[in-house]
Amino acid sequence: GNTIVDASNIGCGRDPTALVRIAQATGLNIIMGSGYYLEVTHPPELDNKTEMGIADEIVRDVTEGVGDSKIHAGIIGEIGCSWPWAERERKVMGAAASAQRRTG
């Protein structure tokens, strides 16, 4: 095939402009993800975001694009959960589910 999925998400090295460069150089279709993985990869500012705020961020990534880049995420994920489930991970999972409902 000609398509790959890059699940590197927020806090795990997601780089929308690099993905565009790679796609243009190789002819591949690259589907970029949105969301947050395990708590150990979460940026500190995630503590100050509500579940709805995180959902809004994911929805924007899908519908409007990431920041000023306007490069859209095509999947929600990879969303990670450790055991025991960390509070931030619970918040992210709820946000991802909400964003999925809102974006279809």
Q: How far apart are CA 32 and CA 63, in angstroms?
A: 13
> Are 49 and 43 a contacting pair, CB within 8 Å?
no
Low-confidence residues of the chain: pLDDT under 50: none
pLDDT of residue 14: 93
pLDDT of residue 2: 96
Collect all residues with Cβ–Cβ distance below 8 Å to 88 and sequence separation of at least 6.
36, 39, 42, 46, 47
Domain count, the chain: 1
pLDDT of residue 53: 98
pLDDT of residue 1: 81
Strand, helix or coil at 75? strand
Spatial CA neighbour of 57 closest among 46, 47, 41: 46
Domain limits at 30? 3-103
